[in-house]
Amino acid sequence: MTGQNSHSGGCQCGAMRFRVDGELGTASICHCRMCQKAFGAFYAPLVGLEKGSELTWTRGKPAYFQSSNHVRRGFCRDCGTPLTYEAPDGLGLAIGAFDHPEEIVPTVQYGLEGKLPYADRLPGLRGTRTEEDEIALPFLATLVSHQHPDEDTDTWPPEEQR
Amino acid sequence: MTTAGSATGGCQCGAVRYEVGAFGRASICHCRMCQKAFGNAFAPLVTAKSITFTRGTPKHFQSSSKARRGFCGSCGTPLTYEFEGFGTEIAICTLDDPSIAAPVLQVGLESRIPWCEGLDALPTRAPEEAAKAETLFKELVSNQHPDHDTENWPVQENDHGN
């Protein structure tokens, strides 16, 4: 659950869930090649913790890859979701893993030397909503998601999916 | 190594490497399932018309009744999205040269996070912060696999002829 001063999140499969009690710190995106690779994406969106805020793993614990001598990166060993960036000067949580990523707005960008030439053009691409996708619709009509919902659960996965 | 019409890529730690023979369309997907799987604002994916895993194989999470997602079991990098009947799409930034797969379409607009527009206008590090970061990066020893195929990986640490 996400209250005024509490932010929850987790991985796609729900094996890892976390909660931050207290204020979140600076939200950023990093274009560097290491963040690109770790996230398989154009940039890593990460948010820090304000001093005094506390991170609790409420279900499961991440697996880690020591991506350099300074930094390790946490991920879910069951579904792969990138979860943390942990450096000597602090920890960043993957914004997309939060239950409400839309509330965590990046205010700074790093690693511009790694920025891909087309990164700025993405908002202007032609686009569709899922319900307009005629090829996907017949499949989506019967799709059963195994993704953890965007809120805490008492037990997971649900009985019928075990 | 990249030969004409093909391209190589892999995860951050190098345990999984692949070669793609031919590409289809590149896109970004804003749907909540792609956000969660990538811990990000959206997933950048390119259709791989043929793919061969040249080192290791991905681990998979069945994210729904219709789709499974491949990732590296050792470092978590999101690698593939495999929708029943539609073949394999790969995470663009796992390519050794992601600039070859510029997205031409965005899908799942109903879930688009508003802040993913306008990121190009964000400020970057102030000069004094940048200098501090530079010092840290000088001492950095990356454990990331290089952006080309390797005969042996990881490189033996004791590799200086004694």
Taking only the tens place, the pLDDT of each residue in A106-148 is 999 999 999 999 999 998 899 988 888 777 788 788 889 999 9
Residue in B28, B104, B32, B110 with CA at minimum distance from that of residue A129: B110
Average pLDDT over residues B128-132: 84
Residue B35 has pLDDT above 80, yes or no: yes
Cβ–Cβ below 8 Å for B105 and A128 = yes
Residue B125 has pLDDT above 50, yes or no: yes
Please tell me the distance in Å from A151's CA to the nearest CA on chain B.
Answer: 13
pLDDT of residue A7: 97
pLDDT of residue A102: 97
CA atoms of B14 and B72, how far apart (whole Å): 9
CA atoms of B86 and A136, how far apart (whole Å): 10
Residue A3 has pLDDT above 70, yes or no: no
A97 at B interface, C-beta within 8 A: yes
Range of weakest confidence among A95-99, B41-45, B157-161: B157-161
The model's confidence at residue B5, banded by pLDDT at 50, 70 and 90, is low
Beta strands in A88-146 (DSSP E): 90-94, 108-110
Residue B110 has pLDDT above 80, yes or no: yes
Q: What percent of chain A has pLDDT over 70?
A: 96
**Residues A63-92 pLDDT 10s:** 999 999 999 999 999 999 999 999 988 899
* Whole-structure pTM value: 0.92
The dihedral of CA B142, B145, B150, B156: what is its sign? positive
Examine residue B44 and say whether the peptide bond preceding it is cis (omega within 30 degrees of 0): no
Tokens, residue B135: 């010092």
Average pLDDT over residues A37-59: 97
Residue owning tokens 């398989």: A40
Range of weakest confidence among B31-35, B83-87, B106-110, B130-134: B130-134
Q: Which residue has the higher pLDDT, A159 or A41?
A: A41
Q: Which residue of B has its CA nearest to A109?
A: B124
The model's confidence at residue B156, banded by pLDDT at 50, 70 and 90, is low
| CATH architecture assigned to B7-121 | Beta Complex (2.170)
CB-CB neighbours of B134 under 10 Å: 10
Q: In this structure, are residues B102 and B9 in contact, taking their beta carbons and an 8 Å threshold?
A: no
Cβ–Cβ below 8 Å for B12 and A81 = no
CA atoms of A35 and B148, how far apart (whole Å): 17
CA atoms of A161 and A110, how far apart (whole Å): 41
- Domain spans of chain B, in order of start: 7-121
Q: Which residue has the higher pLDDT, A155 or B2?
A: A155
Residue B161 has pLDDT above 50, yes or no: no
Residues of A in contact with B75 (CB under 8 A): 38, 65, 67, 73, 75
pLDDT of residue A4: 66
The model's confidence at residue B139, banded by pLDDT at 50, 70 and 90, is confident
Q: In this structure, are residues A143 and B66 in contact, taking their beta carbons and an 8 Å threshold?
A: yes
pLDDT of residue A1: 45
Residues of B in contact with A148 (CB under 8 A): 36
